[in-house]
Amino acid sequence: MARVEGIPKMVTLEVVTPTRMVAREEVEEVVAPGAEGYFGVMGGHLPFMSTLKTGELAYRKNGTWRYLAMSWGYAEVRPETVIILTEAAEKAEEIDAARSQRARDRAFERLARWGDESIDVLRAQTSLARALTRLEVAEKTQ
C-alpha cells in the first residue's frame, strides 16, 4: 500500500506510570485497550483522547510485535505521538509469571466468597483482571 506524502510513517509511543517511563520508542503501530474496545494507531492518525481499561498494549517495531500488561489509564493520540498514562505497566519480559499465578489464585478465592461482607468484590475483580492480563502477556515471551 502506498503512503500519502507528508503522513508520518512512525509514531512515538510513550508509556508512563506514576513511578517510571516504561517505554519511549519509535514504532510502526500501537494497539491499546480502550474503555470501549481495542483501538489501533499508526503515524498520521487523527488526534483523540481515550480512557483505557486493564489489558494488553501491543506495539510493532521493525516488524516485530512487543507487548505490555497495563492497568487502567488514559491515552492521548496525535499524528506523531501516542502517550499512555497508566496506573501500572510491565513489559512481557518483566512479568513474574509465578507471582501472577498466585495473584490470580487469591482473586479467585476471594470471588468464591462473593456473599462475605469482608470481601471487596470490585477489588477482587480488578486484581483478577490484572493477573490474567499479566499471565497472557508473559506467555508471549515464551
As a whole number of Å, the CA-based R_g of the chain is 17
The 10s digit of each residue's pLDDT in 105-123 is 888 788 787 776 777 777 8
Q: Which CATH number fits domain 95-139: 3.30.70, 1.20.5, 1.10.3470, 3.30.530?
A: 1.20.5
Q: What pLDDT sits at residue 23?
A: 96
Has this prediction a pTM greater than 0.85?
no
The 10s digit of each residue's pLDDT in 32-89 is 999 999 999 999 999 999 999 999 999 999 999 999 999 999 999 999 999 999 999 9
Fold classification of 11-92 (topology level): ATP Synthase; domain 1 (2.60.15)
Beta strands in the chain (DSSP E): 11-16, 21-27, 29-34, 37-42, 48-52, 55-61, 64-70, 73-78, 81-86, 89-91
